[in-house]
Amino acid sequence: MKHMKLITGLIGIILGVIIAFFVPTPAGLTHAGMIVLASIVTANIFWIFSVIPSFVTGLLMLCSWVVLKAVDFPTSFNIFSTTTMWIIIGGLALGAAAIKTGLINRIALKIMSYLPASFRGQSLALLIAGTVISPMIPSAHPKSAMSTPIAKGISDSLGYKPKSKASSGMFMAAIWGFIVMEASFLSATAQNYAFKGLLPVKYQGVLTWGKWFIMMLPWTIVTLVLGYLLLNVLFKPKNDKPISKDFIHQQLQKMGPMSREEKITAIVILVAIVFWILGSAIKLEAAITALIGVSVLVSAKVLTADDFKTKISWNTIIFIGTVMALGNVMKTVGLTTWLYKILQPVINPILSNIWITVIALPIVIYLCKFVVVSLISTGTLIMLCLLPFFSTISFNPALLVLIITTSVNIWMLNYMDAPVITGQAAVQGSMVSKSGLAKSSLGYMVINIIGLLLCVPVWYMMGLVH
């Protein structure tokens, strides 16, 4: 529909005005709470239908709280002074260096050179390469845009026709390794930090880099193993004999020997990951580690001032910040307490037992994804609905972040996953069929729940379930 954005935008504004100024304030909620509720309704309509850029919607939402006197400026924009925002900025800068220098391409191609040039060998190589590279780049779109052309080069070398079963399988192996496996590591995507930032501060300490990795380890193993088997069952060609690895060797030869910039970037990222793992033990904030690493890269001329303007997604940073601001502001105006009373009959059964939660909550998220396209928006909506229940559930609310981050990443239909769309654009839509997307997504949705179920005993052992 030609004027869909304009119409939905007007509907969002009208609904916001009605809720804020014409609907009687219900018992237990203040007028400030009504203003924040109205802004959330309007913002979500704008986000769902992409009325204006997401980060602009977020900024207008925060400004509306100040202009309409729901909260003051320091409360509204407080999130931008937190360590979470600075780890996102530092992490994206480290990722930008890894991409600029070609380090990520080299790692991926090197791993592929060690495995057979067949569907089984190269699909496994893409899974392993993506998992190894994931914690280095906290942004899904660059990884998707970089990995799918590599998958296409392999697919063409193996003689697979465009959008054939085998071609679809190579594309999905890249997406699975570089995008799906992001949930295994805190530093693998900015959305992990965004969801963590929505937690009250007293729960955020559970989600250090090392603890996140341990809590997700069963899921990581299951998702890799079952994902590899799924892709081979769905997409492996009948005649899967290894051929020459000329394409891979040609790409590596074209890159030449490892450059000074690549070596410096590799060392900085490896040291950063070590300090992220040890952060809680040595009392060093992850943001400080990231920012020192970025400073080293700039001092060594790996990154320039222009790189900061062009290679870091500032609109994404601002959008994430505005989304994270919601949790604190909702609590300040009493909206979380009011929502608790309203949502209790629906949410309580889902959160009554961790075993039920890891099955029921992903299914709810899958259904939401048919309506709310943005991964961060979907996760934020779910977190905001669950926020009022954190003090009453029988497990640490930090576990909800893990469940949400694994469950928002589905691609049943073309429009449902932005990084998958980016990956398709990077290969001109020539690799994966619609049925290939749907089948692999459905398989992942089942595997995800199995992986989460196997995480529960680990969570018990870590004392996160009471």
pLDDT tens digits for the chain (466 residues)? 568 899 999 999 999 999 999 999 999 899 999 999 999 999 989 988 889 998 999 999 999 999 999 999 999 999 898 888 898 898 889 988 988 999 988 998 899 899 988 999 999 999 999 999 988 888 788 888 888 988 998 888 888 999 999 999 999 999 999 999 999 999 998 889 989 988 988 899 899 999 999 999 999 999 999 999 999 999 999 888 777 778 788 888 999 999 999 999 999 999 999 998 887 788 888 889 999 999 999 999 999 989 988 888 898 889 888 988 888 898 899 998 898 888 888 898 999 999 999 999 999 999 988 877 678 878 888 998 898 899 889 999 999 999 999 999 999 887 788 888 888 888 888 899 989 999 999 999 999 999 999 999 999 999 999 8
Q: What is the pLDDT of residue 439?
A: 95
The Cα 436–Cα 441 span in angstroms is 8
- Whether residue 106 contacts residue 256, with contact meaning beta carbons closer than 8 Å, is answered with no
The Cα 251–Cα 272 span in angstroms is 28
Q: What is the pLDDT of residue 224?
A: 97
Q: What is the pLDDT of residue 2?
A: 61
Whole-angstrom distance between the N-terminal and C-terminal Cα of the chain?
51
Nearest alpha carbon to residue 99 among 266, 228, 240: 266
For residue 178, give the H/E element and its range. Answer: helix 165-178
**Position 110, amino acid:** K
Burial 87-107, CB ≥16 within 10 A → b, else e:
bbbbbbbbbbbbbbbbbbbbb
Q: What is the pLDDT of residue 1?
A: 58
Q: What are phi and psi of 409, to 5 degrees?
A: -90, 70
Nearest alpha carbon to residue 168 among 112, 230, 247: 230
As a dihedral over the C-alpha atoms of residue 113, residue 117, residue 120, residue 126, rounded to 10 degrees, the angle is 40
Q: Fill in the DSSP letter of residue 183.
A: G
- Whether residue 55 contacts residue 69, with contact meaning beta carbons closer than 8 Å, is answered with no
Q: What is the pLDDT of residue 243?
A: 73
Q: What is the pLDDT of residue 99?
A: 86
Burial 351-377, CB ≥16 within 10 A → b, else e:
beebeebbbbbbeebbebbeebbbbbb
Nearest alpha carbon to residue 409 among 120, 87, 192: 192
As a dihedral over the C-alpha atoms of residue 387, residue 48, residue 438, residue 213, rounded to 10 degrees, the angle is -40
The Cα 21–Cα 265 span in angstroms is 54
For the entire predicted model, the pTM comes to 0.84
- Whether residue 363 contacts residue 412, with contact meaning beta carbons closer than 8 Å, is answered with no
C-beta neighbour count of 334 within 10 angstroms: 15
- Whether residue 189 contacts residue 315, with contact meaning beta carbons closer than 8 Å, is answered with no
Q: What is the pLDDT of residues 93-113, one digit of tens each?
A: 998 898 899 998 899 889 989
Q: What is the pLDDT of residue 373?
A: 66
Q: What is the pLDDT of residue 8?
A: 93
Helix pair angle (165-178, 434-461), 10° resolution: 30
Nearest alpha carbon to residue 444 among 212, 151, 179, 213: 179
Two tokens, residue 280: 């809680």
The Cα 203–Cα 196 span in angstroms is 9
Nearest alpha carbon to residue 195 among 377, 417, 447: 377
Bridge partners for 243 per DSSP: 117
Q: What's the Cα-to-Cα distance from 69 to each of 33, 151, 154, 202, rounded to whole Å? A: 11, 52, 57, 28
The Cα 258–Cα 110 span in angstroms is 12
- Whether residue 261 contacts residue 90, with contact meaning beta carbons closer than 8 Å, is answered with no
Two tokens, residue 442: 């459905």
Bridge partners for 117 per DSSP: 243
The Cα 45–Cα 11 span in angstroms is 8
Task: Give 433-439's long-range contacts (Cβ < 8 A, gap of 24+).
Answer: 433/163, 433/164, 433/168, 436/163, 436/165, 436/168, 436/169, 436/171, 436/172, 436/234, 436/235, 437/168, 437/172, 437/411, 437/412, 437/413, 438/412, 438/413, 439/234
The Cα 268–Cα 271 span in angstroms is 5
